[in-house]
Structure 1
Amino acid sequence: MNKLSNNSISKDQVARYAKHYNEQNKSKVLERAVTKNGILAASEGLRGGADFSPVFSIDLETGAVANQKQSGRCWMFAALNTMRHHLSAEFKLKDFELSQNYTFFWDKFEKSNWFYENIIATADKPTSDRKVAWLLNEPQGDGGQWDMLCAIIDKYGIVPESVYPETYNSNKSNEFNTLLNEKLRKDAVELRELVNAGSSDEQVQSRKEKMLEEVYRMASYSFGEPPTTFDWEYRDDDKNFHREAGLTPKSFFEKFVGWDLTNYVSIINAPTDDKPFNHTYSIEMLGNVVGGRQVKHLNLNMHDFKQAAINQLKAGHSVWFGCDVGQHSEPRKRGLLDLGVYDEEALFDIDLSMSKAERLDYSESLMTHAMVITGVDLVDGEPKKWKVENSWGDKVGTKGYMVMTDEWMSEYCYQVVVDKQFLTEDQRKAQAEEPTQLLPWDPMGALAYKD
């Protein structure tokens, strides 16, 4: 490793900087404005009008927004929202919700097994090894990916929210996560010791099974034990009563959603040198169900990325997407995702310009949040703004919906999920390739760890 040079900041430098600062008439005015109001308030832009009006040439009917509360389940809410949009239209249930708590329970349970298996597989490496340290830093969390929810649904199905409602711990997951991660790290000590002591696979797996039973108990106490069969009664928007008896979570999915989830694929836009376009990528150690569906991304240029989303919207289907929601946005009050919402560069007279690839390579940006695109405004066939359904309740934006400018999408959107029918033939062939495996900390896997 190269040693640092001895170029420390001198007193003369500080004096020179202070002199230049005080020679500018605007310095003290801006100093007062920023210290009193904060950086964002002092740099907030005043753009508005048609650019941000919640009116779109394609606008899907989707009902009331959901609320993930104090949990990191955005990816799960967004995916289930796309499914409930379909179900609501098909069965006339405008504000129906699927149980996010149900898939959360099984995700926690499966992630624990995923962690145990990765700990066993890396037991020959020291805890200072970067991959082992990566595992131990966050054994499991609330984040995830579209493919990870598909893996849960493939194995466990889904249920209506009324059958398995939210709990204190699903709405506010920090207490459970803290305790579960403490247990998983403690279990990692024992599993690594067993492997390194030469225990047989049967002995290691036997001990792991007892650990998983404890996880099941913890999750059941915290979220409620999930149903295996249930009856479902509902009244549709035409006031007609319906009763479905003897359903299982898997039969419910097959009857009321009925999607072939293998048709829905992840498209990313990651214009970095290590990810050539028109090829597929997976992320090492990213997943939840051992032996289940693999996280897999097809990397496309931004034009093709947007076109796939537009094709799906034109067909009347909403689009799951992943982005860096905190960048140049005001999602909480105004519900805006726009490059001009703040102008810190003008305020401080600095240059912050970076390409999308540079932001990814230098850790300035990554996927932090998943939502649903439910509309787009096309002018002469080109997108100008997009309608976004969030999962932060109806007090943000316009009853929970936001406006995303097309320029913002280009810079800070990284992933959409579309039905393969909305890709070109060449893109479908590329998507069928075996993926190149990326390192666990690649920014295209960050949604599983951020929210």
Structure 2
Amino acid sequence: MSESLALDASFSADRADAFRADPTSRIVQNAVTGTDADTVSLDRDVLNGIDETTSERLDAWKVANQKHSGRCWEFAGLNVLRAKVMKQLSLEDFEFSQNYIAFFDKIEKVNHILARAIATADRPLEDEQVRNLLEDGVGDGGYWIQFVDIVVKYGLVPQWAMPDTESAGNTDQMNRALDTIVRRTIGLLRAAATDSDPAEASRRTEEVRRQGLEDAWRVLAIHLGTPPQRFTWQYRDKDKNFHRVGEFTPLEFASQVVTENLREYVSVVDDPRAEHPVGHGYVLEHTPWMEGGTPYSFVTARVDEIKSLAIESIRAGEPVWFSCDVKKQFDRKLGVWDVKLHDYDSLYGVDLGISKADRMRLHHSGPTHAMTFVGVDLVDGRPVRWRVENSWGDEVGTKGFFTMNDSWFDEYVFEVIVPKSRLTADQQAALDGELTVIPEWDVL
């Protein structure tokens, strides 16, 4: 490193003198040292201009609560399905078990990690893939296609059949135990691969893998409960009519209540980076996270096209699964988003502007949360604001529903899930053609 780039010891003292000489800086410092920066920077004119009413609205139900977990993508997926079931069966309210989906997501992730560990067992620990494998662990996050794979393979159950446990909504301790099991098993798999006898190496590898899976399943059962294999489905509709439908397995139940082919729903992404041309098909590296599952693919489109697709789905009575960078320019308690909600530039006296494309390149912004659009306010056919069903409980926003001004969509929404039939012929062809691989370190 060049000595000329060393920070001069006088730098801070000089800046401190200039800071103290500026009364505005001192006032802002007094404000932020006494309360949080988001409160001080909140633009009241922008806030007061946000109206939660929308011309198109689907919801008439209560929100769910993922609590202290990263299961938003599961909640958003189930929120799309529950709306369809409530409409189909004329129910006032209904919830699928998010815990059931989480259980099988976790065991599939463990199996995927162990499969990758076997495939890379002959590589050194310093290898990038091995390092990523050891660093990532068994997290809570996921994608729409991952959700579909789980539903197709394991089915669905009502929320009461496998309700949330303490660990379902607070996953830290469970994930810590799973990560320990996974890393211990990876070490044993790597040791087994060194056996000079190929047949013995294969036998030991499968034995170690099997034990790792059994240990992980046991931890999951202790934390989340045991997934039901059969249950009786009965309900009372809005008109107070009672329906005793019968006994089902989770797969039979999913087939009974979800009448659409979930595989017909596809991912459309706004990626403004020039190196990722619009209208092309992409696939995420090292996916799926379920062995034998579906690689996580998407097609890119202009943001106005993505909005039109979302509006079309809402007008057809369908909530829309979407992903976004949730904590940028928002107020959790009030439940609002606007691209200028917080005037951080004026608060700090610093230019903080970065384009969406550069934020993605610099890993400053990317999909961090999934929710569902359940409404949109249209003026002369153009969206002004969006109604959002979150999964943070009913004590934030308006009983858990949030309002997103359209300006925020442009900057911080990345993906929507819509029926493939709504795409143009070119977009469908891009998804069906050769896909460009997005590396696992990319923000998407």
**Structure 2-normalised TM-score?**
0.96
**Partners of 2:268 and 2:301 within 8 A in 1:** yes
Provide the C-alpha distance between the structure 1 equivalents of 2:12 and 2:111, rounded to a whole number of angstroms: 55
**Partners of 1:323 and 1:368 within 8 A in 2:** yes
Provide the C-alpha distance between the structure 1 equivalents of 2:49 and 2:128, rounded to a whole number of angstroms: 45
Letter in 2 for 1:431: L
Change (3 A) 1:434 1:262: farther
Query: What is the match of residue 113 of structure 1?
Result: 111
Letter in 2 for 1:264: Y
Query: What is the match of residue 6 of structure 2?
Result: 8
Query: What is the match of residue 132 of structure 1?
Result: 130
Which structure 2 residues correspond to residues 42-441 of structure 1 after superposition, within 5 A?
Answer: 42-48=40-46, 51-198=49-196, 199-200=198-199, 201-330=202-331, 332-441=332-441
Provide the C-alpha distance between the structure 1 equivalents of 2:284 and 2:153, rounded to a whole number of angstroms: 21
Letter in 1 for 2:443: P
Change (3 A) 1:192 1:62: farther
SS state of the match for residue 31, structure 1?
A: helix
Query: What is the match of residue 449 of structure 1?
Result: none
Q: Per-residue deviation at 1:36? A: 1.3
Query: What is the match of residue 17 of structure 1?
Result: 15
CA offset digits 1:358-379 (Å, max 9, x no partner): 0001111111100000011111
Provide the C-alpha distance between the structure 2 equivalents of 1:424 and 1:259, rounded to a whole number of angstroms: 21
Change (3 A) 1:418 1:7: same
Q: Which moved more, 1:392-401 or 1:34-43?
A: 34-43
**Partners of 2:323 and 2:371 within 8 A in 1:** yes
Provide the C-alpha distance between the structure 1 equivalents of 2:29 and 2:68, rounded to a whole number of angstroms: 35
SS state of the match for residue 291, structure 1?
A: coil
Letter in 1 for 2:437: Q
Change (3 A) 1:4 1:422: farther
Provide the C-alpha distance between the structure 2 equivalents of 1:405 and 1:165, rounded to a whole number of angstroms: 34
Letter in 2 for 1:102: Y
**Partners of 1:62 and 1:85 within 8 A in 2:** no
Change (3 A) 1:5 1:276: farther
CA offset digits 1:103-153 (Å, max 9, x no partner): 111111111100000111111222222221111112211110100011111
CA offset digits 1:216-268 (Å, max 9, x no partner): 22222221221222112211121111112221111111111122011100111
Change (3 A) 1:4 1:320: farther
**Partners of 1:47 and 1:340 within 8 A in 2:** no
Provide the C-alpha distance between the structure 2 equivalents of 1:72 and 1:62, rounded to a whole number of angstroms: 25
Provide the C-alpha distance between the structure 1 equivalents of 2:290 and 2:131, rounded to a whole number of angstroms: 21
Q: Per-residue deviation at 1:49? A: 7.1
Q: Per-residue deviation at 1:303? A: 1.3
Letter in 1 for 2:246: A
Letter in 2 for 1:335: G
Question: Any unmatched runs of 5+ in structure 2?
Answer: none
Q: Per-residue deviation at 1:166? A: 1.2
Q: Per-residue deviation at 1:273? A: 3.1
**Structure 1-normalised TM-score?**
0.94
CA offset digits 1:8-43 (Å, max 9, x no partner): 222443343233323323222222112112322221
Change (3 A) 1:113 1:27: same
Provide the C-alpha distance between the structure 2 equivalents of 1:89 and 1:326, rounded to a whole number of angstroms: 32
**Partners of 2:326 and 2:369 within 8 A in 1:** yes
Provide the C-alpha distance between the structure 2 equivalents of 1:230 and 1:26, rounded to a whole number of angstroms: 66
Q: Per-residue deviation at 1:380? A: 1.2
Q: Which moved more, 1:417-426 or 1:47-56?
A: 47-56
How many residues align? The count is 441
**Partners of 1:101 and 1:166 within 8 A in 2:** yes
Question: Any unmatched runs of 5+ in structure 1?
Answer: 445-451
CA offset digits 1:265-321 (Å, max 9, x no partner): 011111123321111212222332201122111111111111111111111111000
Provide the aligned C-alpha RMSD in A.
1.6
